[in-house]
Amino acid sequence: MKFTAVIFAISIFACQAFAQEKTTAKGKPKAAPTTPVPAKTPRELIDGLNQANLQEAFRILRSEYINRDDFDYLELNRAAMQGLLNRLEFGASILTEESRSLRNSPYKFHSAKIDDSTAYLRFGKFNKSGVSELDKALKKFREELGDDWKTLIVDLRSPQAQADFAVAAEILGRFRPPNELLFKIRRPGDERPRLFVAKSQPASWSGDLILLVDTETGNVGEIIAGVLKKQNPDDVLIIGEKTRGLTVEYRDVPIGEDRILRYAIAEVVLDDDSSLFQKGIEPDVPAPASRKSKAEIFKLTETGKVPLTKFLFQKQRPRLNEAALVAGTDPELGYYLAKSNGRETEWDKPPLQDRALQQAVDLLTAQAFLSGKKAKSGAGSDEEIDKNAKGDPDED
């Protein structure tokens, strides 16, 4: 399946509709509004200062600022460290024991069947146990779905305390052929990076993949998404939000009472030496989702007591319609009786929704619809869908 054909066809129709809306009654495009020049950011302004300028600014603030007595060397050093960490973003940070523990995933591994051709799995903690659960899930899906299994949705939206690169390589080995170079670990001053190569695994999947990512995706999740998209862009679709770019190895060093300095000491690069550090992964289909809703859905579904499909295919409150009128019934009666008696109903609160996962299922539905139309019309390939969506330049 070529995900790009589905997205391209939908985009063409949307662009055509947008172009029609932008046309005036006379058929002439509206003039584009003038874009104001954005003001420079504080960092851009500071970057325009040289060493002498910076020293002069410090001297003036220490001698003339209204609260200049607060500007001792300790305060200046604290401000300098704060500014440095801000510039390094997540290349370095100061943690406590509690905040470090909170960065690890609170979720468990979960897998579920979406429909007869689609399966879903979600990593909790990216560790050896998670790899074993992955193998079990792949075997179970193969037995239950058989040859009808076409798409696997892999949810990578779990945080990670520290990267385990060996685990990342093991997981990738389930989706990439043996002996393929997956990624490298590059350290400053070391001309020979450490190589991670795919190995033969007991269970694997080579079909279509949909990956779900967001800003909570940890470094192992980003490595997995980056490698899979790089190696097989046509059959891997990424949905969600741009990731943070945490693809580094961190070292933690205690520097004070309950204070830990975490800083990057090595960088993960792909097989072509491209880096994702502080760049992240851009989704093919943006789908921002509520962190709170995602966490609730993860917790409710990980035991298996609440099916994942409950948050994908939502029931609508029964409404009075023509069929009910013909049958002489009122499907809304129970709801209104409960409300009049002050009782709560299942329709009082908005349902939990996982927008990213819903978007994935919707796109698969659209792809199945387009494939059905292609079969009926006799179109022979995804390239023909692209051609039909663009319009044949040879036709007048």
Looking at residue 192, the DSSP 8-state letter turns out to be S
Q: Which two tokens stand for residue 279?
A: 């760049």
Residue pLDDT, tens place only, 293-327: 999 999 999 888 899 988 887 777 777 777 777 77
Which residue intervals of the chain are DSSP H helices?
Answer: 3-21, 42-47, 51-64, 73-88, 97-102, 128-145, 165-173, 219-231, 291-301, 322-327, 333-340, 355-377, 382-390
pLDDT of residue 76: 87
Report the amino acid identity of residue 124.
G
Measured CA to CA, the distance from residue 234 to residue 247 in angstroms comes to 23
The C-alpha atoms of residue 396 and residue 393 are separated, in whole angstroms, by: 8
Could you give the 3-state DSSP secondary structure of residue 90?
helix
Residue keyed to tokens 């997205």:
7
From the CA atom positions of the chain, what is the Rg in Å? Answer: 27
3-state secondary structure of 64: helix
- At residue 262, the pLDDT reads 94
| Measured distance CA(157)–CA(85) in Å, rounded | 25
How do beta strands 259-270 and 181-186 pair? Answer: antiparallel
pLDDT score at 32: 64
- The fold of the 96-322+351-376 domain, in CATH, is 2-enoyl-CoA Hydratase; Chain A, domain 1 (3.90.226)
pLDDT at 369 (0 to 100):
82
Joined tokens for residue 165: 């690169």
pLDDT digits (tens, 9 = 90+) for 12-42: 545 554 455 555 445 555 666 677 778 889 8
Q: Are 283 and 241 in contact (CB under 8 A)?
A: yes
Give the per-residue pLDDT at 141.
Answer: 97
- Nearest by Cα to 235 from 178, 195, 175, 293: 175
Low-confidence ranges of the chain (pLDDT < 70): 1-33, 335, 346-348, 373-396
Residue with tokens 């023909």: 384
Where are the CATH 3.90.226.10 domain residues in the chain? 96-322+351-376
Task: Give the pLDDT confidence score for residue 254 in this predicted structure.
Answer: 95
pTM, full prediction: 0.79
pLDDT of residue 333: 72
